[in-house]
Structure 1
């Protein structure tokens, strides 16, 4: 495809994203490219990169366009990104819209007038650095929705700007070697033989890291179940669950089974793990992944309204993992659309749901067993506050400090966080933002 053709496709993808504001962007993009199979792999990555570049900077681009009373249409967002983020002159931006087959239509009179006004506004300002303008409100300057700033400031303090900047960057691609079929070293060699050079992750003994997104799912190492895509922070949560061979384990919010796979490998296919979820399609996806990975000690349970499964199994499990539904603020590097499609109402609804799930999970754990509560959020309301409330309702539980849980899981070196809980973040650890609390039920 020509550069103009890629730009036209990126604008179409941005329009598709705007048309479905509550649907995850990666699902929309998958459908977009699936219906355009004529687009090759290199063009697909270029189109996605341009669209995600706009999505990552959407708050700032919207602010800039508002200064010249411009509606943020996909075409003007793309043009503004070329002008402000890539530093093109107005004439070069106009040439990027040449018209004709497979190219974006030329900017019309109004669009060109707005583009020139935007360039003039930038030229008149002092202290402009890329997309950051000194007149921006704090939330736009940090590229963070206003509703997360109190929680992020409580979490990061003086490091807030550093962490906010890290959340804007594309994430590396982390893989987990499936120890049911291979070793980390052998998995790395298999990937290298297919042209993908990796390096070991810092904390997880299972992890391999690629510096950027690559077509891993097309490799033999992936299709044969030697590796799975999983962020290092997520791997650490599975490791800290300490699911040993022979135990009875529940992954209560299993989704598509990412942590179920890791737990099953940790158990060496011995014992029993139950993957639970409220979504049948997600559990079906987990079944396919479990089969590919060679897992045969897992079963699944689909929660339905009025379900009595948990009540009938109270006190029967050695380990219960709650990978709770959350705002996903720790994954904004991978899911940049979430920062503009998630709001304070979602946070209020999710914190109620998290408390309910924790109470259910607490009843499943046998005396002496462990409950691990995890989120991919960095907001205290979803993390420490939930644990404090749970302990107030369940005095038979106590926090197992991170350092003790780290040592008990056989992990080497010091854990990546101080204090009683696991907290990882993009700037400090190079992982997604995760929280985990390990709770012990008294015997």
Structure 2
């Protein structure tokens, strides 16, 4: 594709993302490229790169365009982003060309707006704090309470490109052997500093085509997610419940820690997600997992009350800790969403608590950085359940600094992971 065609595709994809504002951008992009199979791998990466650069700087680019007297249309957002990245106005005008597979020439008003942009620095001190930090205005007080003096550093890290982390499946190999196998295929990795099973890639890579991925030696999983599974500290002889299993990412990590022994029940309310876990379980060589679809009126949970040694509640949440990977999510989030999530999380915690045996443990986890979903949710749970207490995980799979934390909080700026929270709750004997 020519630069003009790449720009046209980027503008088209941005238009679809803006139109389908409640649908995740990665799902929209997947459909977009599936319908345009003529776009090759290199062109797809170039288009995605520009689109995600725009999404990561949406508030800042919109602020600059507003100063220049314009609304943030997909064409202007893409053009402004390229200008701030060093493209000259002359080069940009040439890319906005007429013709087939092109975005069309800039109108006089568009050219005037882009000419008025002050393209020295994307981030300026005159910006409102929420714009500078790429967050909605209404969320600023909550995040100031969470991070205090490190607010800008933390939120700046959330606007950067995320690393690609792998969890090595020690049922099939070792971290060293997996790293060597990837190196032989031309992929350089470094061991993750916190997880004993993690490998981190440099730059954008397609790991799903590698032999270690295809034969189940590695699995895509952020280091923070690996540590959440480690906090549960399951043993081979235990009965373990992954209550919100989804597609089974943490289920796989738990099965690995249990050496494929004991019994894991992976539950979810989505049949599609549970079905998607089957292929992953087979590829990893995991066979100690039972899948169960949670439906209204189901007696499955009542029959298993108080029977699990370990219960993982990877609760549905705002996903604010994953904004590096899903920058569009910050544009969709509303206070109503948060209020509904808080109610749902509390209900899930109460139901899951009934499944923990006396002396057993439950780990409540989110990929959120909001105190309302994390520490305050735990405080509310403990006020409702006198038969539970908050304890430190003490898992040998966790780094020493995290073993004594009764509530684990991970952030991109401080820890190099996605934003994660985990609290270990023990049911009293």
TM-score between both structures, scaled by the size of structure 1: 0.94
Structure 2 matches for 1:379-398, cutoff 5 A? 379-398=370-389
Structure 2 matches for 1:111-260, cutoff 5 A? 111-116=110-115, 118-119=116-117, 122=118, 130-260=121-251
Instruction: Please tell me whether the aligned partners of residues 274 and 301 of structure 1 are also in contact (alpha carbons under 8 angstroms).
Output: yes
Residue 430 (str. 1) matches residue 416 (str. 2) = yes
When the two chains are superposed, the root-mean-square deviation of aligned CA atoms in Å is: 1.5
Tell me how far apart the structure 2 counterparts of residues 63 and 227 of structure 1 sit (CA, whole Å). 42
Tell me how far apart the structure 2 counterparts of residues 75 and 146 of structure 1 sit (CA, whole Å). 25
Instruction: Please tell me whether the aligned partners of residues 163 and 427 of structure 1 are also in contact (alpha carbons under 8 angstroms).
Output: yes
Tell me how far apart the structure 1 counterparts of residues 404 and 111 of structure 2 sit (CA, whole Å). 53
Tell me how far apart the structure 1 counterparts of residues 272 and 378 of structure 2 sit (CA, whole Å). 30
Structure 1 stretches (4+) deviating beyond 6 angstroms? none
Residue 376 (str. 1) matches residue 367 (str. 2) = yes
The corresponding residue for 1:36 is 36
The corresponding residue for 2:6 is 6
Shift of 1:400: 1.0
Q: Deviations over 1:185-242 (max 9, x none)?
A: 1111121111111111111111001122310011111111111000001000111111
Shift of 1:265: 0.8
SS, match of residue 397 in structure 2: coil
Shift of 1:166: 0.7
The alignment of Structure 1 onto Structure 2 pairs a total of residues equal to: 429
Shift of 1:269: 1.1
Q: Deviations over 1:34-56 (max 9, x none)?
A: 22222222211111000000011
Tell me how far apart the structure 1 counterparts of residues 192 and 149 of structure 2 sit (CA, whole Å). 27
Tell me how far apart the structure 2 counterparts of residues 19 and 205 of structure 1 sit (CA, whole Å). 43
Tell me how far apart the structure 1 counterparts of residues 396 and 123 of structure 2 sit (CA, whole Å). 45
The corresponding residue for 1:323 is 314
Residue 281 (str. 1) matches residue 267 (str. 2) = no
SS, match of residue 415 in structure 1: helix
Unaligned runs of 5+ residues in structure 1 are 124-128
Tell me how far apart the structure 1 counterparts of residues 400 and 172 of structure 2 sit (CA, whole Å). 28
Q: Deviations over 1:272-312 (max 9, x none)?
A: 10111111111111111111111101011111122232222
SS, match of residue 354 in structure 2: helix
Unaligned runs of 5+ residues in structure 2 are none
Instruction: Please tell me whether the aligned partners of residues 70 and 114 of structure 1 are also in contact (alpha carbons under 8 angstroms).
Output: yes
Instruction: Please tell me whether the aligned partners of residues 60 and 134 of structure 2 are also in contact (alpha carbons under 8 angstroms).
Output: yes
Shift of 1:417: 8.5
SS, match of residue 401 in structure 2: coil
Shift of 1:141: 1.6
The worse-fitting range, judged by mean Cα deviation, of 272-281 and 106-115 is 106-115
Tell me how far apart the structure 2 counterparts of residues 114 and 413 of structure 1 sit (CA, whole Å). 52
Residue 334 (str. 1) matches residue 330 (str. 2) = no
The worse-fitting range, judged by mean Cα deviation, of 289-298 and 70-79 is 70-79
Instruction: Please tell me whether the aligned partners of residues 227 and 398 of structure 2 are also in contact (alpha carbons under 8 angstroms).
Output: no
Shift of 1:416: 4.7
Q: Deviations over 1:12-69 (max 9, x none)?
A: 1111211211111111111111222222222111110000000111111122222233
The corresponding residue for 1:77 is 77
Instruction: Please tell me whether the aligned partners of residues 416 and 429 of structure 1 are also in contact (alpha carbons under 8 angstroms).
Output: no
Tell me how far apart the structure 1 counterparts of residues 200 and 88 of structure 2 sit (CA, whole Å). 37
Tell me how far apart the structure 2 counterparts of residues 50 and 430 of structure 1 sit (CA, whole Å). 23
SS, match of residue 112 in structure 1: helix
The worse-fitting range, judged by mean Cα deviation, of 336-345 and 304-313 is 304-313
Shift of 1:429: 0.6
The corresponding residue for 1:104 is 103
Tell me how far apart the structure 1 counterparts of residues 209 and 19 of structure 2 sit (CA, whole Å). 30
Tell me how far apart the structure 2 counterparts of residues 308 and 146 of structure 1 sit (CA, whole Å). 44
Tell me how far apart the structure 2 counterparts of residues 440 and 350 of structure 1 sit (CA, whole Å). 24
SS, match of residue 372 in structure 2: helix
The worse-fitting range, judged by mean Cα deviation, of 410-419 and 334-343 is 410-419
Residue 359 (str. 1) matches residue 350 (str. 2) = yes
The corresponding residue for 2:252 is 261
Structure 2 matches for 1:302-313, cutoff 5 A? 302-313=293-304
The corresponding residue for 2:68 is 68
